[in-house]
Amino acid sequence: MSAGRKAADAVGWDDLKDEFDLSADETREVERRAALLLSEVRAHRLAEVRKRQQMTQAAVAKVLGVTQGRVSAIEKGEINRSEVETLAAYVAALGGQLKLVADFGDETLVLG
């Protein structure tokens, strides 16, 4: 951390990237891990919504036709992103940005 910066100061990723002089591979790895962490946080928010609606993982699993373990994995961010990533790449190739949003009426969660 530079001498003029305080620990509580908000710092953008571009500033940190420049300050730490990361290689291209290191930058990609940090960005990959940040995306995974964000995905886990978003998935955890789904679990919070489920709990507020007083539903168990087993109840959601029954509705989805999957196991309770699969619901648990989804809530931990352990999902196959390949289809969504392919669709996002397709939309990006057309100059757009894919937005994945869950709308619960009184609450909206941005999932990706």
- Could you say which architecture CATH assigns to the domain 18-110? Orthogonal Bundle (1.10)
Distance CA 90, CA 98 (A): 9
- State pLDDT tens for residues 18-40: 777 778 888 888 877 777 777 77
Residue 67 reports pLDDT greater than 80: yes
pLDDT of residue 7: 53
Structural domain boundaries in the chain: 18-110
- Average pLDDT in the chain: 79
pLDDT-derived band at 1 (thresholds 50, 70, 90) equals very low
Calculate what percentage of the chain has a pLDDT beyond 90: 10
What is residue 98's DSSP assignment? Answer: -
Residue 68 reports pLDDT greater than 90: yes
pLDDT of residue 57: 93
